[in-house]
Amino acid sequence: MNHILVTGGAGYIGSHTVLELLKLGENVVVIDDLSNSSKESLNRVETLSGKAVTFFEGSILDQDLLVNIFSQFSFSSVIHFAGHKAVGESVNKPLSYYHNNVQGTVSLVEVMEKFNVNNLVFSSSATVYGEGAKPPYIETQTLGCPTSPYGQTKLMVERILADVVRSNSDFKVANLRYFNPIGADESGQIGEDPNGIPNNLMPFVAQVAVGKRAELSIFGNDYATEDGTCERDYIHVTDLAQGHVAALNWLVNQAHGLCEAFNLGTGTPYSVLKIVKSFEQYTKVKVPFKFVPRRDGDLDAFWANADKAADKLNWQAHKTMQDMMEDTWRWQSNNPNGYNA
């Protein structure tokens, strides 16, 4: 029986993807060290899908554990989410990011090669386009220089995977470049549960709305955009999860080794102010905010050209801004303390 291995599957995007895979009847094995997640996410995924997930608590850096797992299951493919993702933290702890994200991937791919598992979907990021890139970002443009060590790890892993494909004509890789994932499964049972003070916009908005934080600080209102606040391409996490399913289906049907990148976004930018106003409109909950100076490293505006994913993967985002806001709120208001009930 074939299985799919999902690294980092207890995390935000991973848990939503595992849910979509189980709903389709796939057999899923998860490895996660729970460094930024809770096993409770997978308990809820099991309840929602009515299917079991095989879970291993441990790190992809632990090759003995990986070999043990690969010896027990026959994997058709691997979806690789495991990694650290806090941009600010990566500036202060670069070695931890290079070790976990880059060495972790090398460790995983070595074991994949050993067991002749040749299909890999990797969580990349729009950050690989770098600072000088002109939006909308398109896969054919030359990659830039990401400003943070976190971003560098994504670019390095993409390059490493391209080299692996050059050396192994059976190996197939889809690098999925996510734009800004937000929202939660429509059940309100699983969602984003950041540790400590949220770095990203949407969890901060949701925590203000639920009364955990007094007000949102909007970083800068003097950008070269319509209302002066930064613009991003926000994508519903369920659309993103379904993008992984589409990429896997495409990958396993390719005859030869390849390494292809796909933007996963909606193609539509929204400003920070528009996000706050949309949240208030669709949830009827006020979000007090103040303007503060710009955050270091923020770009004024970027969004995806998502045509390649539509053409080749037959995938596009369907959820609306209303879905993103309502689903975020359902998750946050049902689970004010995330998975720590």
Residues classed as catalytic? 150
Contacts 24+ apart (CB under 8 A), 229-232: 229/271, 229/272, 229/273, 230/271, 230/272, 230/298, 230/299, 230/300, 230/301, 231/269, 231/270, 231/271, 231/300, 231/301, 231/302, 231/303, 232/179, 232/180, 232/201, 232/269, 232/270, 232/301, 232/302, 232/303
Q: Which is nearer to ligand NAD, 33 or 231 (CB)?
A: 33
Q: Which is nearer to ligand NAD, 236 or 256 (CB)?
A: 236
178 is a site residue for ligand NAD (CB under 6 A): yes
Q: Of 120, 165, 230, 321, which lies in the binding site for ligand UD1, with binding defined by CB under 6 A?
A: 230
By CB under 6 A, the count of residues binding ligand NAD is: 28
Q: Which is nearer to ligand UD1, 28 or 321 (CB)?
A: 321
72: which residues sit within 8 A by CB, 6+ positions away? none
Q: Which is nearer to ligand UD1, 85 or 330 (CB)?
A: 85
295 is a site residue for ligand UD1 (CB under 6 A): yes
328 is a site residue for ligand UD1 (CB under 6 A): no
Nearest by Cα to 181 from 12, 331, 34: 12
107 is a site residue for ligand NAD (CB under 6 A): no
Round to whole Å and give the CA distance between 56 and 41.
14
Window of 59-67, 112-120, 193-201, 320-328 that interacts with ligand UD1 by CB under 6 A? 193-201
Q: Of 17, 125, 152, 242, which lies in the binding site for ligand UD1, with binding defined by CB under 6 A?
A: 125
Window of 75-83, 89-97, 183-191, 298-306 that interacts with ligand NAD by CB under 6 A? 75-83
By CB under 6 A, the count of residues binding ligand UD1 is: 20
Round to whole Å and give the CA distance between 201 and 279.
12
Site for ligand UD1 in 173-192 (CB under 6 A): 180
Q: Of 171, 204, 303, 315, which lies in the binding site for ligand UD1, with binding defined by CB under 6 A?
A: 204
Q: Which is nearer to ligand UD1, 117 or 230 (CB)?
A: 230
Nearest by Cα to 195 from 46, 339, 17: 339
Nearest by Cα to 193 from 202, 181, 203: 203
Nearest by Cα to 251 from 315, 166, 178: 315
What does residue 173 show for φ and ψ, rounded to 5 degrees?
-130, 135
Residue 188 CB, nearest approach to ligand NAD (Å):
18
218 is a site residue for ligand UD1 (CB under 6 A): yes
Nearest by Cα to 106 from 86, 126, 125, 120: 120
Q: Are strands 258-264 and 119-125 parallel, antiparallel or unpaired?
A: unpaired
Given the rule CB under 6 A, which residues bind ligand NAD? 7-8, 10-14, 31-37, 59-61, 81-85, 100, 104, 123, 125, 178, 181
Given the rule CB under 6 A, which residues bind ligand UD1? 87, 125-127, 151, 180, 199-201, 204, 216-219, 230, 232, 272, 295, 297-298
